[in-house]
Amino acid sequence: MLHKQQASKLPSAFDRAWEAVGGGPADLYFPEEFLGVWSVESTLASVQLPLGPDFVPDTKVVERAKAEDLNRQVRYTVAFVRNRDGKIITDRRFNTLSLLDYYLGPGKLTAQDIAWNPNDPNVLNMALPGGLDITTRVTRRSESSAGPDRLDTSEYFQQLYDSPGRAEPKVKASQCFTKYKWRDSAAAQRESGPQIVATQVVSDYLTPYDGEMLMMRAKNSPVVIYTYKMRFWRSPKDNAVAL
């Protein structure tokens, strides 16, 4: 059993271990300006198949995105919160629930259906209607700044889809790369524009679940690339919190 003094060292120890095995920073950290709740307008600007349709494991998903989501503006809210170390991070539970409310309809899920620990943020579990369970695990991340008002973030993650009628979980691998640019609130108000703008690129990769031969032929190249344009305004419901 760990003594209290030893237990208090665990969070930072996990962070150091994560970085030591090549996982990058223990989470993505954002500037103070991001703290709080934001109204987001997101538009799917393009859907690309770099290797052609033969490498896409589920063409129905791609065709639906092209038919229903391409060039369509989506509105939802996101939150950035302060973790127990005082750093600004994305509230992954809040943000996931916000997006699912948009796509599934309000009230279909609650925060209790999403398990996530902001102080150990690399795994998020969702229990969806119909018995579908989705586990998202971040495997690698990085971030860099090209200036005082810019931030680039990258996360590689795997998702496991498990349901009662499935013989084995489906595995999906993706990268989410986002370029943020922001300005102060006074400048945004003067021009009646967003305070933060971002371009987000989500790239899907093949896994052994999709067939080992096909995965080898893809040579670790993305098979589907979704590009989103995003704009952030301060939400009237803004309520910055610490976790």
Q: What is the pLDDT of residues 157-166, one digit of tens each?
A: 999 999 887 7
Residue 23 has pLDDT above 60, yes or no: no
Other CB atoms within 10 A of residue 59 CB: 12
Is 141 a residue whose pLDDT tops 60? Answer: yes
Residue 53 pLDDT > 70: yes
| Residues above pLDDT 70, as percent of the chain | 87
pLDDT for the residue numbered 4:
38
pLDDT tens digit sequence for 203-232: 999 999 999 999 999 999 999 999 999 999
* pLDDT per residue as tens digits for the range 59-110: 999 999 999 999 999 999 999 999 999 999 999 999 999 998 888 888 888 8
Q: What is the mean pLDDT of the chain?
A: 87
Residue 34 has pLDDT above 50, yes or no: yes
How do the domains of the chain map onto residue ranges? 44-72+114-234
Mean of the pLDDT values across residues 101-128? 87
SS (H, E, C) 188-206: HHHCCCCCEEEEEEEEEEC
Do the Cβ atoms of 110 and 54 come closer than 8 Å?
Answer: no
Ramachandran angles phi, psi of 190, nearest 5°: -60, -40
Under DSSP, the state recorded for 70 is: B
Contact 41, 231 (CB under 8 A): yes
